[in-house]
Every structure is written in C-alpha cells, then in structure tokens.
C-alpha cells in the first residue's frame, strides 16, 4: 500500500507488483497468485491500476523481449477478456439435468409398455374406518395399509434427510466417506444396468455376445449364471467407479463422477415409483420446504451465518481466510472434499487458461444436487407410466413435465446469476414442474384420475405389437 501511494504521488497511472512464487508469506501459507487472490489493503476506488505478476515471469518472459534494448521503451498493455453474457456451464448442466429426467421417463415408458414395470398400488380416495368396514375384502385392507404406508414412508424419508444433513454438518468427513463408498457400490450397479440396456438394444452387440460368449459360458459357467458379457460389463463398471474413487480429488475427476451420477439418476428413475400424483405432490412440497429452510433459514441459526445445505455439500464455510485479511492459497489450505451426490460442471471462464491447477487444486464449478434431478424426475416418470391413460396422453404429460422442469432450471440459474448466491433449486423446480401438469389435467378433465390414480393397467400395459419388438430390449 505504501508503494502504491508513493507511485500515485509521483504521477504513475499503473503499477506492477512482483510476487516471488512460493515464498513463505507468514507461517501459515506462501505467496501464490490464484483466482480468488486480492490485496485487502488496496482500495480499488482510490488506488491506481494495480497488477500482480510473478517475479520470474517478469524477468524471463517480459524483460526478455527487450534484450539489448532500452527497457524504458517497453510498453505493457494488459488485457482481460470480457466474461460471457451467459455462463456456458449452466447450459451444459441444463442439458445434463433435463436429459436425466427425460431419459429416465422415456426408459420407464418403454419398460411400462413391455409390461415389465410393476407400479405401486394406488391408494383409495379415502381410507377411513367407514370405508374399511364397508369393504371387508383383503384387497380393501391392502389399500388402506398402502395409504398409511405411503404417508409414513414420506414422513420417515424427511426425518432421514434432516438427520443426514445434521450428521453432515457436525461430522462431515465421516458422511462424505460413507457416501463415497456407497457411490462405488450403487454406481457400479447403475453403470452396469445402463450399459447392458444399451448393449441389449444393439443387434450387433447381441450377435457378438451370442457368437463369442456362448461357448465360454458353457465351458466355464454353470447353467443359470450370468454370461461372460454380463461379467465383463460388471467388472468394467466396478473398475470405472473404483478409478473415480482413487482419483476423486484430482481436478478432472468430475467427468467420471458426472457419468456415474447420470447413470444413477437414470437407474433410479426407471425403477422407483410412487402410486399417484397425490403422493408425488406431497413429497415434492415436503422437499420444497426442506430445501428452502436448509438454504435460506439456517444461516440465521448457525454461529458462522452459513447455510447448512451449502456447507454440507461443498464443505466451504463463510468465515474469511486468515486473520490479516489475505486469502489463503488453495495449495496451502486443507480444501474439504465435495459431497459426491452432486453434478459438477466447470465454469467456462475466459481466463480459465490462466488457472494453475497445481495451486488451485480444483476448477470452479457449477453444481446441482442429485435430489434436484430425482425428486422432480419422479413426476416426469410417473407421467410417462401412469395407469388408466393410453400412450398418447402419457407421452403428452411426460413431455410437458420435462418442459416444465427445464423452465424451472432456467429460473434457478437466472436467480443464481442475479442474487450471486446459492439457490435451493427445488423452490423453482417444484412449481414449474407441477403447475403445468395440474393445469393441463384440469383442462383435459384428467385431474381426478391423475390425482388418485388407478390400479387398472389394462389400457397402458399391453403386450407389444410385432412392429414394436425392436425396442423391447431396452427394458432391463
């Protein structure tokens, strides 16, 4: 600051401050330049234009341009590219998330069409003592049990989610390690399921598996066991997840993580169901409240003013780095590990070529929780597979729900850009996904049937016609 004041006093318009890379600044960290570097003692409104540069870069690369010439003739001009009007990482994230919910719904639709999709029993419109006494049949009692079971399941789920978040807030390293191991196990199953679904839908792969694997299977494997192709795919899937686990702290591990999480979302959405829109709405509203409270309300309850949700997901607190105001270089900081159940896309910053990953340790990411994909995805999948509707209205409602999800995600990103703070995505995704479905169902006269559901699947779960057999393989 003293140097800048002296330069300003003598009429200088700009200044270059040289930093010796890696020199110990104080006992806690060293001198490095990084994305979040700033000098807290330089007032940007009063000071002259100030640039920080490594001393060896200035000596070797800049002064090296004027070897044997007068240094005073050297003129330096600094250029910083203008940021993109829209962060392209948000577009990539949008494509990933919308692709997951739409792909999961389409996969569930194919399984449902092939008759391989067993939906939960729809609850009766009411399950009171009168209705149960008037209908003493076993089926009626099962429906009443299903009604209360769904209610208790959602309540239990919310308790579990709050409990996990509290464990993550107080014992974050333990929870992250647990979910890392969990992702290896369930990620392997999901990658295997998705790859086998693709291979079984490929006639060439089917021919190869029959020609090449049948002989090996009869020679090495007893009857009824998985064939060689299935074993190879599972081993490769497990290897992929183990590789991610080993290298998960490296800057580009997010590529494998996103792939594993995409397959996990697809596998969950094509497999799990709720019986009707009523229960899906209850679940989505509960998650709406949960997300809003954990992001917006908890900063008023924590001692450091941090959002519990954000701190558990990223591990980054709100306190400043260091006692003297200088930010700590990431290479000297014990950077916490991100929660694995996140989709991550690096920000497309025009200055990304200047990022030194040996110092930064990681790229700056746009993140989206898997819950922000799976919870609205339940509605999308249900629209594609609900009983009592023919294929055409199911496709119409499924596409409409996917469109609403995409609009909600755009609203989330707009709020993120305008407020410059983490957003609970479900407060935008839930209304944007539910309301179009409700409006369309009301206009079409389908609302009551959609809300309560039906157990009559005769119209929608029929045997395949001969001309549709080619897509039945995609129903694993």
Top-confidence residue, 4 or 440: 440
pLDDT one-digit tens code per residue, 127-167: 554 444 455 566 666 667 667 777 888 888 889 988 988 88
Two tokens, residue 135: 């209908």
The total number of structural domains in the chain stands at 2
* 186 vs 299 pLDDT, higher one: 186
- How does the average pLDDT of the chain come out, rounded? 80
Do 292 and 273 contact (CB within 8 A), yes or no?
no
Domain boundary (16, 49, 73) is at: 73
The Cα–Cα gap between 7 and 2 comes to 9
> What pLDDT score does 129 carry?
47
CA distance 448 to 430: 20
Same domain, residue pair 443 and 346:
yes
Instruction: For residues 357 and 397, state if they share a domain.
Output: yes
Tell me, yes or no, whether 129 lies in a domain. yes
The mean-pLDDT minimum among 34-48, 148-162, 423-437 falls in 34-48
SS (H, E, C) 273-296: CCCCHHHHHHHHHHHHHHHHHHHH
pLDDT beyond 90 at 327:
no
| Domain shared by 48 and 194, yes or no | no
pLDDT in tens, 5-35: 777 777 777 788 888 887 876 666 778 888 8
CA distance 149 to 300: 35
Classify residue 461: in a domain, yes or no: yes
Q: Do residues 355 and 251 make contact, with C-beta atoms less than 8 angstroms apart? A: no
Domain range for 34: 2-73
Do residue 104 and residue 19 come from a single domain?
Answer: no
Residues 44 and 185 in one domain: no
| Segment 377-400, tens digit of pLDDT | 999 999 999 888 888 999 999 999
How far apart are the C-alpha atoms of 208 and 206, rounded to whole Å?
5
Identify whether residues 26 and 132 lie together within a single domain.
no
Residue 428 has a pLDDT of: 95
pLDDT at residue 78 in the model: 77
pLDDT attached to residue 284 = 93
pLDDT at 53 exceeding the cut of 90: no
- pLDDT band for position 256 (cuts 50, 70, 90): very high
Cα diameter, the chain: 104
pLDDT of residue 321 exceeding 50, the answer is no
Angle between helix 391-419 and 426-444 (nearest 10): 150
Separation between Cα atoms, residue 181 and residue 414, nearest integer Å: 34
Q: pLDDT tens across 209-234, in order?
A: 555 555 544 444 445 566 788 889 99
272 domain residue, yes or no = yes
How confident is the model at residue 299, as a pLDDT?
Answer: 85
Same structural domain for residues 274 and 343?
yes
165-205 pLDDT, tens digit per residue, is 888 888 889 999 999 999 999 999 999 999 998 888 765 55
pLDDT confidence band for 463 (50 / 70 / 90): very low
Neighbour count for residue 384 (Cβ, 10 Å): 30
Residue matched to tokens 């990539």: 92
| Residues 200 and 267 occupy one common structural domain | yes
> Token digits for 301?
């309850």
User: How many residues belong to the chain?
Assistant: 476
Q: What is the pTM of this model?
A: 0.82
For residues 200 and 235, membership in a common domain is answered with: yes
In the chain, % of residues over pLDDT 70: 79
């Amino acid at each position: 600051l003293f140097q800048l004041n002296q330069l300003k006093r003598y009429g200088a318009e700009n200044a270059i401050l040289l930093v010796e890379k890696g020199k110990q600044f104080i006992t806690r960290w060293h001198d490095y330049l990084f994305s979040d570097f700033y000098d807290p003692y330089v007032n940007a409104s009063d000071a002259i234009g100030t640039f920080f540069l490594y001393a060896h870069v200035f000596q070797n690369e800049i002064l090296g341009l004027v070897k044997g010439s007068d240094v005073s003739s050297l003129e330096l001009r600094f250029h910083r590219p203008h940021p993109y009007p829209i962060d392209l990482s948000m577009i990539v994230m949008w494509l990933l998330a919308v692709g997951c919910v739409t792909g999961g719904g389409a996969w569930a639709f194919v399984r449902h069409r092939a008759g391989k999709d067993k939906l939960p029993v729809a609850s009766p419109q009411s399950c009171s003592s009168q209705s149960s006494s008037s209908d003493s049949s076993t089926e009626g009692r099962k429906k009443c049990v299903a009604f209360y079971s769904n209610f208790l399941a959602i309540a239990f789920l919310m308790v579990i989610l709050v409990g996990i978040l509290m464990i993550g807030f107080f014992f974050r390293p333990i929870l992250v390690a647990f979910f890392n191991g969990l992702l290896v196990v369930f990620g392997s199953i999901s990658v295997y399921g998705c790859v086998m679904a693709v291979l079984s839908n490929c006639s060439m792969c089917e021919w190869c598996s029959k020609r090449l694997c049948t002989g090996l299977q009869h020679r090495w494997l007893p009857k009824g066991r998985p064939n060689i192709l299935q074993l190879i795919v599972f081993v490769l899937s497990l290897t992929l997840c183990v590789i991610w686990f080993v290298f998960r702290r490296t800057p580009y591990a997010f590529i494998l993580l996103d792939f594993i999480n995409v397959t996990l979302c697809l596998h969950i959405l094509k497999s799990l169901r709720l019986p009707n829109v009523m229960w899906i709405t209850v679940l989505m509203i509960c998650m709406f409240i949960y997300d809003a409270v954990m992001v917006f309300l908890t900063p008023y309850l924590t001692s450091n003013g941090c959002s519990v949700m954000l701190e558990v997901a990223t591990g980054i607190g709100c306190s400043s780095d260091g006692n003297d105001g200088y930010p700590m270089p990431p290479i000297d900081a014990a950077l916490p590990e991100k929660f694995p159940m996140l989709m991550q896309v690096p920000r497309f910053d025009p200055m990304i070529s200047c990022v030194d990953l040996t110092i930064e340790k990681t790229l700056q990411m746009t993140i989206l929780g898997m819950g922000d994909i799976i919870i609205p995805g339940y509605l999308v999948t249900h629209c594609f597979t609900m009983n009592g509707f023919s294929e055409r209205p199911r496709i119409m409602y499924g596409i409409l729900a996917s469109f609403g999800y995409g609009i909600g995600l755009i609203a989330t990103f707009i709020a993120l850009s305008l407020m410059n703070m983490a957003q609970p995505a479900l407060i935008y995704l839930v209304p944007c996904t539910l309301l179009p479905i409700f409006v369309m169902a009301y206009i079409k006269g389908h609302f009551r049937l959609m809300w309560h559901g039906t157990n009559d699947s005769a119209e929608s779960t029929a045997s395949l016609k001969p001309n549709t057999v080619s897509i039945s393989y995609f129903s694993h």
